[in-house]
Amino acid sequence: MSQFLKQFFTWWNGQTLATRFHTWRKGTFVGEDEFGNTYYQGGKDSEGRTRRWVIYSGYSEASIIPPGWNGWMHHRVDTSPADENYKPREWQKPHLPNLTGTPGAYRPPGSLARPGERPRVTGDYDAWTPGG
């Protein structure tokens, strides 16, 4: 499917035509992250702050925004990572995609999607039983 048709018929592939038009009219390019996502700002939001948005390089997946850009997107910091030479802290882990709904999702032993028996409950917790 061509990029134009994806923008016209889907919202989960990068940007829609409305987002492309809004970005063209009001957006100012701020920077790009290591995943190829591009960040823009322009206009005012409902709280009077500068509106900020991201155009994903692939599927729209909010968990792929790196920590530095996440802070900027949510107005936690005023300076974008592109303007301050942002370096992640040593304790920050690299991005892992959200695997919910995929074969790679976490399935603990005893869940409906993974056969086996749940581990026995230990400690001070007693499971409720009717009439008990």
- Residue matched to tokens 């400690």: 123
pLDDT at site 38: 92
Pairing of the two strands 28-32 and 38-44 = antiparallel
Q: What pLDDT sits at residue 45?
A: 81
pLDDT average per 10 residues of sequence, the chain (132 residues):
58 66 82 91 86 85 85 90 84 82 84 74 75 70
User: Can you give the pTM of this predicted structure?
Assistant: 0.65
Would you list the domain boundaries of the chain?
1-122
Phi, psi of 44 (to 5 degrees): -125, 145
Sheet containing strand 50-55, strands side by side = 28-32, 38-44, 50-55
**What does the block give as tokens for 76?**
């936690």
pLDDT at 31: 92
Q: Tokens for 30?
A: 């701020």
